[in-house]
């Protein structure tokens, strides 16, 4: 292994090696099934630290990974350099231009909080603890995705350190700019982004939760209902069993449920009218639909905030007919031998439309994304989980146009070349591979869902 201890550059943030106090904390993240084990973890405080880390890695022939929160960990570093951006949390809102400048490590919650006093909101997703930059570089399907489209389509500028150790500022019209949006850290480490904010001070939404006997009917009703949904309405159907734990409210504890999650950019009266057919399914265990300040929008999905182990697959579907819903219930529904959370998001609307920048987010014809998430750990068999997820993918094949790399969790084959290619249309993958050959010919940024440089030999980690 190359010696990484000699001649360290003058970093401002901490530099940690295995065994150092603080190393374990620095490398850990939201995903606990596996973690980065770099030979050097750089706790970057600014773009210059990122630049120095990349330059140092390039000089020593070491691969580079980047981590903000660990929500999207794909390939864990085993050696190499980890750039940890968790200290780079600055967010600056400019109400006049309706933009936010967001540093690499900021979470959506910080951006939401900074924008709210101006009556503005970012295109954040279901969880405020997700990193804003990592989310946006993966496309970014937000709470109001059908109205505004992908977060990646609303970026004004990116500041990025490329493999040659240079810091660039790129914007719409630059080839690198469009290619960065959708390809994660394949072409560099983004140190900050400037994104559009939207005048959305409040939102109508929440959950309708139905008990097991009504679960299938609730999701079938939702499925039919989405066909007529206006673009201001983005919704998700989730099937899962609440854990049988004291922390869970008694009426939900241990129950298999269908939860319909609603987000409408519009007033409560309109929301109430629109959701009437869903309420008509029957009694709800939870019905908390209401108009709320956008700053409370995390209560729509109530995503877990505590780090845990998870693995997930997904399929982007051109249609979600009754046969597809039956396939979901038959493969990963209540009788599945492994616990599966199923999350079907309604796409379409503005997500179909491409902006002028050649943003590398594909499969725009998808009308739904079906996700399946399981939790490896004691008492679970990873092969059984893999097999269940594969059964679902196989059953949905007739309607599948590809998958979303942002919703693929797990290492090993879930991050292999075939899976990465399926995240893009073939032309986009070739464009990214050609740019990779220019900007990262030695594949320094390979600890990810890797796009290999055009003309490169077999994959190495
Ligand atoms: C609970 C949960 C809820 C989610 N909800 C949504 C949702 O509603 N909509 C949606 O679209 N996605 C959602 N996601 C997916 C999420 O957008 C991706 O997992 C994303 O990669 C997370 O980014 P991160 O920075 O938080 O994670 P990290 O694990 O820190 O980073 C993941 C990857 O992002 C890239 N990355 C991060 N920072 C940089 C950087 N500075 N420069 C270059 N590349 C970088 C790298 O490829 C890195 O490996 C969710 C994920 C979870 C676990």
71 CA from centroid of ligand 1 (Å):
5
118 CA from centroid of ligand 1 (Å):
26
Strands (E), 326-435: 341-346, 368-374, 400-402
Instruction: Tell me if the domain spanning 2-84 has CATH number 3.30.43.10.
Output: yes
Domain with CATH 3.30.465.10 in the chain: 91-196
Closest atom of ligand 1 to 67 CA is: 30
For the domain covering 91-196, report its CATH number: 3.30.465.10
Closest atom of ligand 1 to 180 CA is: 43
pLDDT tens profile 80-93: 999 999 999 999 99
Give the per-residue pLDDT at 1.
Answer: 42
pLDDT above 90 coverage of the chain, percent: 93
Task: Indicate the top mutation candidate among 71, 87, 192, 343 to test ligand 1's pocket, ranked by most ligand atoms within 8 A of CB.
Answer: 71
Task: Indicate the top mutation candidate among 29, 102, 134 to test ligand 1's pocket, ranked by most ligand atoms within 8 A of CB.
Answer: 134
Closest atom of ligand 1 to 186 CA is: 47
Alpha helix (H) residue ranges in 244-380: 268-279, 298-301, 322-332
Task: Indicate the top mutation candidate among 111, 351, 406, 415 to test ligand 1's pocket, ranked by most ligand atoms within 8 A of CB.
Answer: 406
pLDDT higher than threshold 60 for residue 119: yes
pLDDT tens profile 315-345: 999 999 999 999 999 999 999 999 999 999 9
Give the per-residue pLDDT at 247.
Answer: 87
Backbone angles phi, psi at 59, to 5 degrees: -65, -30
Ligand 1: which residues within 6 Å by Cβ?
A: 29-30, 66-74, 85, 104, 125-127, 130-131, 133-135, 137-141, 184-185, 189-190, 303, 406, 448
Side-chain half-sphere CA neighbours of 38 within 13 A: 29
278 CA from centroid of ligand 1 (Å):
31
pLDDT higher than threshold 80 for residue 224: yes
133 CA from centroid of ligand 1 (Å):
7
Give the per-residue pLDDT at 345.
Answer: 98
**DSSP calls for 168-186:** EEE-TT-HHHHHHTTSTTS
Give the per-residue pLDDT at 3.
Answer: 46
Which residue's alpha carbon is at the smallest distance from atom 23 of ligand 1? 134
Q: If you average pLDDT over residues 276-291, what whole number do you get?
A: 98
Tokens representing residue 397 in the block: 């094949």
Sequence-separated (6 or more) residues with CB below 8 Å from residue 448: 65, 74, 75, 184, 185, 186, 415
Alpha helix (H) residue ranges in 18-82: 23-27, 47-60
136 CA from centroid of ligand 1 (Å):
8
- State the CB neighbour count (10 A cutoff) for residue 299: 12
Bridge partners, 155 (sequence order):
195
Which residue's alpha carbon is at the smallest distance from atom 28 of ligand 1? 70
Which residue's alpha carbon is at the smallest distance from atom 21 of ligand 1? 72
Domain with CATH 3.30.43.10 in the chain: 2-84
Q: Is 81 helix (H, G, I), strand (E, B) or coil?
A: strand
Q: If you average pLDDT over residues 167-183, what whole number do you get?
A: 97
32 CA from centroid of ligand 1 (Å):
15
Residue 156 parent element (H or E): strand 155-161
pLDDT higher than threshold 90 for residue 458: no
129 CA from centroid of ligand 1 (Å):
10
Q: Which CATH class is domain 202-417?
A: alpha beta
- Provide the pLDDT confidence category of residue 412 given band limits of 50, 70 and 90: confident
- Provide the pLDDT confidence category of residue 357 given band limits of 50, 70 and 90: confident
Lowest mean pLDDT across 105-109, 234-238, 447-451, 452-456: 452-456
Tokens representing residue 207 in the block: 């959950």
pLDDT tens profile 1-35: 444 456 899 999 999 999 999 999 999 999 999 99
Give the C-alpha distances (Å, rounded to integers) separating 3 from 39, 55, 56.
10, 15, 11
How does the average pLDDT of the chain come out, rounded?
A: 96
Query: Which residue's entry shows tokens 């140092």?
Result: 56
Closest atom of ligand 1 to 189 CA is: 42
Task: Indicate the top mutation candidate among 35, 41, 54, 66 to test ligand 1's pocket, ranked by most ligand atoms within 8 A of CB.
Answer: 66
- Using alpha carbons, select from 83, 51, 190, 125 the residue that is nearest to residue 182: 190
138 CA from centroid of ligand 1 (Å):
7
Q: If you average pLDDT over residues 132-141, what whole number do you get?
A: 98
CA angle, residues 39, 40, 44, in degrees to nearest 5: 155
């Amino acid at each position: 292994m190359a010696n990484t201890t000699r001649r360290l550059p003058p970093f401002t943030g901490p530099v940690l090696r295995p065994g150092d106090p603080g190393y374990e904390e620095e490398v850990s993240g939201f995903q606990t099934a596996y973690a980065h084990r770099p030979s050097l973890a750089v706790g970057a405080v600014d773009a210059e630290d990122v630049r120095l880390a990349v330059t140092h890695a390039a000089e020593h022939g070491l691969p580079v990974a980047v981590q903000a929160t660990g929500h999207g960990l794909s390939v864990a570093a085993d050696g190499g350099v980890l750039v940890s951006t968790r200290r780079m949390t600055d967010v600056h809102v400019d109400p006049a231009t309706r933009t936010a400048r967001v540093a690499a490590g900021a979470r959506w919650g910080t951006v939401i909080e900074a924008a709210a006093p101006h009556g503005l909101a970012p295109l954040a997703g279901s969880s405020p603890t997700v990193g804003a930059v990592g989310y946006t570089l993966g496309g970014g399907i937000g709470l109001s995705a059908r109205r505004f489209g992908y977060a990646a389509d609303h970026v004004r500028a990116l500041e990025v350190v490329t493999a040659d150790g240079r810091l660039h500022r790129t914007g719409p019209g630059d080839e690198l700019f469009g290619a960065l949006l959708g390809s994660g850290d394949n072409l560099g480490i983004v140190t900050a982004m400037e994104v559009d904010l939207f005048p959305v001070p409040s939102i109508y939404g929440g959950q309708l939760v139905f008990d097991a006997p009504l679960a299938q009917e609730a999701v079938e009703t939702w499925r039919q209902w989405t066909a007529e949904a206006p673009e201001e309405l983005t919704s998700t159907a989730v099937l899962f069993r609440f854990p049988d734990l004291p922390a869970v409210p008694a009426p939900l504890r241990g129950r298999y449920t269908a939860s319909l999650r609603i987000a409408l950019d519009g007033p409560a009266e309109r929301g109430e009218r629109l959701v009437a057919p869903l309420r008509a399914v029957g009694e709800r265990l939870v019905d908390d639909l209401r108009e709320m300040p956008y700053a409370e929008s995390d209560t729509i999905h109530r995503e877990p905030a505590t780090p845990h182990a998870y693995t997930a697959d997904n399929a982007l579907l051109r249609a979600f007919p009754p046969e597809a819903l039956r396939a979901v219930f038959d493969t990963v529904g209540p009788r599945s031998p492994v616990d599966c959370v199923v999350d079907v998001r309604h796409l379409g609307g503005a997500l179909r439309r491409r902006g002028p920048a050649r943003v590398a987010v594909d499969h725009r014809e998808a009308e739904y994304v079906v996700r399946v998430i399981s939790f490896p750990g004691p008492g679970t068999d990873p092969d059984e989980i893999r097999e269940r997820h594969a059964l679902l993918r196989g059953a949905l094949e007739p309607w599948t146009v590809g998958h979303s790399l942002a919703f693929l969790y797990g290492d090993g084959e879930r991050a292999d070349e075939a899976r990465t290619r399926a995240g893009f249309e073939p032309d986009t993958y070739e464009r990214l591979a050609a740019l990779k050959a220019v900007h990262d010919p030695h594949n320094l940024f390979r600890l990810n869902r890797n796009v290999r440089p055009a003309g490169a030999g077999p994959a190495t980690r």
